[in-house]
Structure 1
Amino acid sequence: MTVMRISESRTEFKLKNPPEDSISSVKFAPKSNQFLLVSSWDNSVRLYDISTNVERHKYTHDLPVLDVCFRDAVHSYSGGLDNTLKMYDFNSNMETVMGEHKDAIRCVEFANEINAVVTGSWDGSVKLWDNRAPQCVGTYNQGNERVYTMSVIGEKFVVGLSGRKIFVWDVRNMSQVNQRRESSLKYQTRCIRVFPNKQGYVLSSIEGRVAVEYLDSNPEVQKKKYAFKCHRIKEGGIEKIYPVNAISFHSVYNTFATGGSDGYVNIWDGFNKKRLCQFHRYNTSITSLSFCHDGSALAIACSQLEDSDEVEDPKPEDTIYIRYVTDQETKPK
């Protein structure tokens, strides 16, 4: 298969004043290609204006922050190893402690469908939070397995758990799990993202593989699911296999980017089973990816993973790249 390799150019730049430790999550604001939230193992959450390359705001937790999300243009939510969910108002520079889990908060997402925050924790639960009042409005057991990753699009809510289990929920009715699945990949789940059209989801594992799954249980639809190998490098006749840490969907084209511990970002057309392009190799592992709402820019977080087997010495610089992507790179052929 011929792959278009994209070299570094004026379409890409580094954000100034990056976090001082590994970057755990990057997320663009809704309906914006200007504001980017970044959480880090340096205990901080930062808001960047990428149009001027300026850090606008910064607030902290007591321990490393593992995930962050926007509610709207001026409010963020964040959680991490201090077990605490915080809301921050960038207009007033005020923070509110919403509540906590019994263990680390691994995932934080905003569910527009129900106007609520959703958190997933290593305590084996998912919680819903009312954004109008700092309180938890529901706790939902995930089979007592750690929540590793989750994704919400509309009413569809998919949770990836430590034992390779996948729970599919409907955020409008959390009284029961809609589907209980097992990952089609043999190894631990690293990231899950629901397709923008809500037909299915893409998940990645620590063992250089990605699976495209469909939610409709009709056997004809299920025949379309598949998995493929990626983020592998042959050196000296030996294939090195890397975790696929990050996935982000292009909201316009339904194509998606993957980022791996090999330092590469690939763009895929999941429906036609094609790789569209591969960017140049970055300085270390890709830990998080985020397309902005119109798909014109991709934020790429590069950090040595805290749980990585491959410790580089000296530790590579923690960097966030902003890449303005083209239709050639992201549009199905």
Structure 2
Amino acid sequence: MSSQFELAQNPTDVISAVKFASKTPTRLLVSSWDRNLYLYDTHAEPGGKLLQKYEHPAPVLDVCFGRDDNEAYTACLDWEVRRIDLETGAQTVLSTHEAAARNVIFSPEHNLLISSSWDATLHLHSLSTPGEFSTVSLDSKSFSLSVSPTKLVVAMASRSVCIYDLDTLAKAAAQGDTVAVEPWQRRESSMKYMTRAVACMPNDAGYASSSIEGRVAVEWFDPSDESQSRKYAFKCHRQTIDDKDMVYPVNALAFHPVHGTFASGGGDGVVALWDGVAKRRIRQYQRFPASIATLAFSGDGKYVAVGVSPGFEDGLDDVPDGVMKVFIRELSDTEAQGKKK
């Protein structure tokens, strides 16, 4: 049986990210433009329980859990990357970019925290040696990051995508200072318009990316011609209103950790589940009240968190109160399963 509910105490401004803890499937972090990071136990009581709120000096653009479920890292509009001790609330600045820190992601296999910024750099923080970090220059401004067990995929402006080898980045992180790291591969997006989100397959085989123009592309890491010939892109998150074709940005992508299928969330307020290998849509959920800003599956694959916030496509300059919502959906055993082989 699948069921869905809205968190009782939601952020008061646009939701930038939702992330589940790796060990505790009901522990959820939500970052917001209201300058707060929120920690919930989604199932402690009906509507979930807000355990703690951590105020920041500026809007929080991204968050991830760290080495355990009591450690979080944030990327902030004030250029800073912070460590948050979720138990004590203590905040430590790890590094300061030269523009807004846009994304932050942790690779448990490499004990490596990676942040990206609108200053077109990555900061590499080896968590074994706190206080030191290395800077890597990117080809252009970064929009989205995702890691697989061995790779980091960076989606950037000018439709470029760089794939880095995490072993190489982990070595570079130990050097400190500015390091020259060549990507393992440079690719041009197979979509014509700006990339909005990227997500790696949990099996380390490839990634999906999405654009502002209602499309998703699925690609494989393996550079062989055979693998590269499998890549494809498809249209989604579109609807016809008054005989006009409306095309919406695909803001969010997330892979299911067990089944390897993925979810997309669009400016049309719709979340869809896809089987990327069989190239088919598995299901589409009932429309949410506003644009989908962000999506995440829990580590055990039982839950999906959906961050809903009005986007520019809603034509609202001032965001009315009460439209920022986080929904938690409990998935049935077969809900996110792909096509049977």
Match of 1:247 in 2: 253
Please list, as runs of the form range in 1=range in 2, the aligned pairs for 1:221-240 lying within 5 A after superposition: 221-240=227-246
Size of the alignment, in residue pairs?
A: 323
Structure 1: tracts of 5 or more residues without a match: 1-8
Paired residue type of 2:126: D
Paired residue type of 2:304: L
Paired residue type of 1:298: V
1:219 aligns with 2:260: no
User: TM-score under structure 1 normalisation?
Assistant: 0.94
Distance 2:198 2:190 in 1: 13
Assess, with a 3 A threshold, how the Cα gap between structure 1 residues 180 and 58 changes in structure 2: closer, same or farther: same
Match of 1:58 among 41, 53, 62: 53
Contact 2:19 / 2:29 at 8 angstroms: preserved in 1?
Answer: yes
Cα drift, residue 138 of structure 1? 1.3
Cα drift, residue 133 of structure 1? 4.6
Match of 2:94 among 92, 98, 101: 98
Secondary structure of 1:220 counterpart? helix
Paired residue type of 1:268: W
Cα drift, residue 197 of structure 1? 0.7
Match of 1:265 in 2: 271
Assess, with a 3 A threshold, how the Cα gap between structure 1 residues 115 and 233 changes in structure 2: closer, same or farther: same
Cα drift, residue 31 of structure 1? 2.5
Cα drift, residue 329 of structure 1? 2.4
Distance 2:166 2:336 in 1: 30
User: TM-score under structure 2 normalisation?
Assistant: 0.91
Cα drift, residue 158 of structure 1? 0.4
Match of 2:134 among 124, 135, 138: 138
Structure 2: tracts of 5 or more residues without a match: 170-180
Assess, with a 3 A threshold, how the Cα gap between structure 1 residues 93 and 42 changes in structure 2: closer, same or farther: same
Match of 1:197 among 196, 203, 208: 203
Cα drift, residue 326 of structure 1? 1.8
Contact 1:68 / 1:76 at 8 angstroms: preserved in 2?
Answer: yes
Secondary structure of 1:329 counterpart? coil
RMSD over aligned Cα, in angstroms? 1.5
Cα drift, residue 312 of structure 1? 7.1
Assess, with a 3 A threshold, how the Cα gap between structure 1 residues 133 and 165 changes in structure 2: closer, same or farther: same
Distance 2:200 2:115 in 1: 16
1:210 aligns with 2:216: yes
Contact 1:158 / 1:167 at 8 angstroms: preserved in 2?
Answer: yes
Match of 2:121 in 1: 125
Please list, as runs of the form range in 1=range in 2, the aligned pairs for 1:107-126 lying within 5 A after superposition: 107-126=103-122
Match of 1:26 in 2: 18
After superposing on structure 2, the runs of 4+ consecutive aligned residues of structure 1 that deviate more than 4 Å are none
Distance 1:295 1:286 in 2: 19
Distance 1:136 1:84 in 2: 14
Match of 1:172 in 2: 167
Most deviating of 125-134 and 181-190:
125-134
Match of 1:14 in 2: 6
Match of 1:287 in 2: 293
Match of 1:5 in 2: none
Q: CA deviation digits over 1:226-277, x for unaligned, max 9? A: 0000000111221100000001110100000000000000000000001000
Contact 2:248 / 2:313 at 8 angstroms: preserved in 1?
Answer: no
Match of 1:147 in 2: 142
Cα drift, residue 93 of structure 1? 2.3
Q: CA deviation digits over 1:167-193, x for unaligned, max 9? A: 000121033210010000000000000
Paired residue type of 1:301: G
Match of 2:177 in 1: none
Secondary structure of 1:110 counterpart? strand
Secondary structure of 1:327 counterpart? coil
Work out the percentage of aligned pairs sharing the same amino acid: 41
